[in-house]
Amino acid sequence: MNKTAIDLSATLKSHEIDLSALNPAVLTHSEQISLVIAKAFGASKLPLYMRDAVAKSYAGASSKSVYASLAELRAMQADITKSAVAPFALAGSEFAYASQAVGVQVLVPVINRSLVEMFVAMGAPNLPPNVRALTQNAMLSAVEIPEGGMYPAAAPAGDFVLRGPRKFGLIVAMNNELLVLNSPEVLAWVESNLTNAANNAVDKAVIDAMVAAAGTAQTTVKAAYAAFQGDLRTAVWVGSPETLGGLRSAAETQVSPNGGSWNGLPCLPVLAAPDGVLLLADAKRTAVYNGPLVIDSSEHADIVMDSTPDTAGSAAVSMFTTNTVAFRITKYADVKPLVNPVALNVA
């Protein structure tokens, strides 16, 4: 083995050790998820598009020197691969390396932004669980006090709590022959599916709670406004993409399945929302807990592949013998409306 190959091997070995000590604080949310997935594949298979994130963690605020060394490493890897491995051919029985295979055309699904995240973006108080908060559940107004008169009194409500560690989870098993390709497209496909699974579960729980609190739907916008106990200046419409798309007209051109605004209020598209119904909610009077998203993986677990594993009669499936990787996703979240939403029938 020549000196260049020896240096490359040493660099990769050091790279593997440092990978386990990465500081997640300097990575973006997307990079953190990609890093978890990359670790499941093995440190030596870290995708190229994550190298910049690694460089940031190595060098802190300045990643010039590390980035340069990683760029040189990529160039060395490319040269050694070219000289050591013959081009892939379909004829005969030649062995095909995974990195040389034709690959997979990936159609990455659109990541659904969870309703909790959208509420936070609209100004909802993002609180940790098991807390109390002073709130203004109704508009307060002082009054004129006549000479010798008594002062009226009012106090904001403080009797609500976000529940403790409320979590939503799912285990997804994927064939390792697909994941071994380790391309950015495959990793993005895995990441988007896991993220959507978590967001869909949170959205269903939030929508179910809002529908129950709203009660009987109003039939006109005026009636919905009149029944609403929140502040219309910070109110939003929540509806399914199909329902929001059906509201578009010559008079209402700002609403679409992607959101927009309707009757002057912002619209939040949520797949879990019931068809033909809008929910009027006060974004700034909806307390939320937008907790962490945790992804674990295993190639050796035995898993009951059933939607109700506690009562399922199915036998456990071995990830090792089926050459499968199991990803377990857990999302911690909760929501508590401080004023009840109002439902509006628009069907």
Same domain assignment for residues 81 and 119: no
Same domain assignment for residues 164 and 311: yes
Q: Report if residue 273 sits inside a domain.
A: yes
Domain count, the chain: 2
pLDDT of residue 96: 44
Gap between the Cα atoms of 176 and 40, Å rounded: 11
pLDDT of residue 261: 94
Q: Report if residue 147 sits inside a domain.
A: no
Same domain assignment for residues 29 and 123: no
Instruction: Give the CA distances from residue 68 to residues 62, 79, 291, in Å, rounded to whole numbers and listed in that order.
Output: 12, 17, 36
CB 235 within 8 A of CB 261: no
Q: Report if residue 152 sits inside a domain.
A: no
| Local confidence pLDDT in tens for the 347 residues of the chain | 444 333 433 443 444 434 555 555 555 565 566 666 656 555 444 555 455 555 555 444 444 444 455 455 555 555 544 554 454 444 544 444 444 445 556 666 677 788 999 999 998 888 877 776 666 666 677 888 888 888 877 666 555 567 666 888 888 888 887 777 667 777 778 888 888 888 999 999 999 999 999 999 999 999 999 999 989 999 999 999 999 999 999 989 999 999 999 999 999 999 999 999 999 999 998 888 888 888 888 888 898 888 777 776 778 889 889 888 888 888 888 888 888 999 999 98
Q: Where are the alpha helices (DSSP H) in 48-142?
A: 51-59, 64-84, 115-121
Q: Is the dihedral of CA 65, 67, 73, 78 positive or negative?
A: negative
Same domain assignment for residues 92 and 178: no
Same domain assignment for residues 127 and 243: yes
Q: Report if residue 110 sits inside a domain.
A: no
Same domain assignment for residues 127 and 75: no
pLDDT of residue 340: 92
pLDDT of residue 287: 87
> Which tokens go with 294?
């945790």
Q: Report if residue 330 sits inside a domain.
A: yes
Same domain assignment for residues 123 and 272: yes
pLDDT of residue 195: 87
Task: Spell out the long-range contacts of 174-179 with Cβ–Cβ below 8 A and sequence spacing 24 or more.
Answer: 174/324, 174/325, 174/327, 175/323, 175/324, 175/325, 176/299, 176/323, 176/324, 176/325, 177/323, 178/104, 179/41, 179/325
Same domain assignment for residues 268 and 207: yes
pLDDT of residue 344: 96
Same domain assignment for residues 131 and 94: no
Same domain assignment for residues 133 and 264: yes
Q: Report if residue 261 sits inside a domain.
A: yes
List the domain range (segments joined by +) for residue 79.
3-99
pLDDT of residue 12: 39
Same domain assignment for residues 182 and 312: yes
Gap between the Cα atoms of 86 and 343, Å rounded: 65
Place of tokens 């068809």: 275
This prediction's pTM: 0.64
Same domain assignment for residues 228 and 199: yes
Q: Report if residue 175 sits inside a domain.
A: yes
pLDDT of residue 307: 76
Gap between the Cα atoms of 315 and 301, Å rounded: 13
Q: Report if residue 105 sits inside a domain.
A: no
